Structure 1
């Protein structure tokens, strides 16, 4: 049993989980969420046109450029754009959303490459989405851990669901914890300015009942003593579990847990093929 499982009101715990998961599902199925993506287009120096986006797109040392035809228009930061527009050099894992009618054209950088990913709210993957199955919430999978900061953040290179693509994350530390009497550890990545963390992991359920490539777990910022709360009931799928147009990272090798974590989201019916 986990360190926090005793003394918890199971009904209240379950209600809180269902509220959280309902909100998570609503965000996932948002009009311009990743279920609305209709294509993943890799840019280079040769202008290219795509059926699901206006204009001709290219990328070079000065960043992404789109050349719109007469009568074509995008809105960037609320302002109309016509003719040629330069998005500039985009930071890794960031991007710009340009509005085109009821669609959004995501312009971003992933793994060092500039991409265009149109998001159309009428995409069948989104309109036909019926939810993601999950294990019943169980306090057994709620535990406490200790965050151990590295002397300095460690650049950590991980693979991706896209062949040949790599992601580099700064890992500020690791989380040590115990579950079912076993001492375990996960390398953690920074989750934002709030000091929160996130971990990418697999376990013995991967490819059986849960998505094979990876699951994502968010962890609130450690307290002054380094204590963190880990709730595997809130482990969720990455976009690549649903669409082939994702560039999701794989977990670092040390984050492949040797136990079956029967908690959190299961494999969706729409799961795409991904690396084991």
Structure 2
């Protein structure tokens, strides 16, 4: 595997990375994005009230339910809701959203558990957010690799940022590549990405816990071409929400996705976690 021979100049490569990173930072700073989360509430059969969301919340065989007192209101699918409302049984990794004034209430299922995550735009974490430090973009970290599909997708169980929680993802195969200056061939287990045919890898490397977040980083990989070649641009390695807040259930990388080399590319430890500018 070799480094991609980019048709763009170094200046163009840097400009494209800067545009991508700026867009990523705008999404992170959204008033109702993940930095706005004020609570991670685990629901059970006993209705419970929380200080950052209206209603008494519970879950059971029929799914998530909220009981709203007189004077309380949620907007669900654009319609006002009073009294009792059933959100139903949620699929794993699904999220639905309701609003109450300027608060967005996320109802979700993670690791088989129903959870409630209110999002408030005045939360200091999002209000005071400025930027995420990152390594300067460098074309040598934009690699050509190969996708090695499994005969059939495999279910892969990984840990989570929340102790005791597990996530299960379908893996369609592995990506194989050589790191600059390393000389060895590496493979990472890949999960399905957000776009059709695309992939995502979770990984750690020798910078983890030193200059990059210790638990994980994520890298989205465009769909393989007809020859199975993929672009693996480590400059676009990003932090997951757990890098910024403890109110996240982020998955951890599979054990085999721990690179022995230092990948000095992509996002670094957030300022909020003591990272250096």
Q: 1:73–1:81: 8 Å Cα contact kept in structure 2?
A: yes
* TM score, norm. by length of structure 2: 0.96
Give the count of matched residue pairs: 272
Q: 1:96–1:108: 8 Å Cα contact kept in structure 2?
A: yes
Q: 1:68–1:83: 8 Å Cα contact kept in structure 2?
A: yes
C-alpha distance in structure 1 between counterparts of 2:148 and 2:77, whole Å = 40
Root-mean-square deviation (Å):
1.3
C-alpha distance in structure 2 between counterparts of 1:238 and 1:107, whole Å = 19
* TM score, norm. by length of structure 1: 0.96
The alpha carbon displacement at 1:168 in A equals 0.3
The alpha carbon displacement at 1:271 in A equals 2.6
Residue number in structure 2 paired with 1:93: 93
Tell me which of 236, 239, 245 is aligned to 2:238. Answer: 236
Deviation string 1:143-195 (CA, Å, 9 cap, x unpaired) is: 11110110111000000010100000000100011112221111000013511
C-alpha distance in structure 2 between counterparts of 1:42 and 1:48, whole Å = 10
SS at match of 1:237: coil
C-alpha distance in structure 1 between counterparts of 2:2 and 2:226, whole Å = 22
SS at match of 2:26: helix
- Select between 4-13 and 235-244 the one with higher mean Cα deviation: 4-13
The alpha carbon displacement at 1:4 in A equals 1.4
SS at match of 1:206: coil
1:142 aligns with 2:132: no
C-alpha distance in structure 1 between counterparts of 2:113 and 2:125, whole Å = 25
Residue number in structure 2 paired with 1:23: 23
Q: 1:2–1:140: 8 Å Cα contact kept in structure 2?
A: no
C-alpha distance in structure 1 between counterparts of 2:240 and 2:48, whole Å = 29
SS at match of 2:22: helix
- Select between 3-12 and 76-85 the one with higher mean Cα deviation: 3-12
Residue number in structure 2 paired with 1:257: 259
Residue number in structure 2 paired with 1:105: 105
Deviation string 1:231-263 (CA, Å, 9 cap, x unpaired) is: 000000000000110000000001000100000
Q: Which runs of 5+ in 1 are unaligned?
A: none
Residue number in structure 1 paired with 2:116: 116
- Select between 219-228 and 198-207 the one with higher mean Cα deviation: 219-228
Residue number in structure 1 paired with 2:187: 185
C-alpha distance in structure 2 between counterparts of 1:262 and 1:193, whole Å = 26
Residue number in structure 2 paired with 1:175: 175
Tell me which of 199, 203, 206 is aligned to 2:205. Answer: 203
C-alpha distance in structure 2 between counterparts of 1:22 and 1:190, whole Å = 25
C-alpha distance in structure 1 between counterparts of 2:74 and 2:6, whole Å = 55
Q: 2:96–2:107: 8 Å Cα contact kept in structure 1?
A: yes
Residue number in structure 2 paired with 1:221: 223
C-alpha distance in structure 2 between counterparts of 1:17 and 1:269, whole Å = 20
Segments of 4+ moved more than 2 angstroms: 5-8
The alpha carbon displacement at 1:95 in A equals 1.2
Q: Which runs of 5+ in 2 are unaligned?
A: none
SS at match of 1:249: coil
Residue number in structure 2 paired with 1:82: 82
Residue number in structure 1 paired with 2:272: 270
1:34-49 to structure 2, matched below 5 A, reads 34-49=34-49
The alpha carbon displacement at 1:125 in A equals 0.4
C-alpha distance in structure 1 between counterparts of 2:247 and 2:130, whole Å = 19
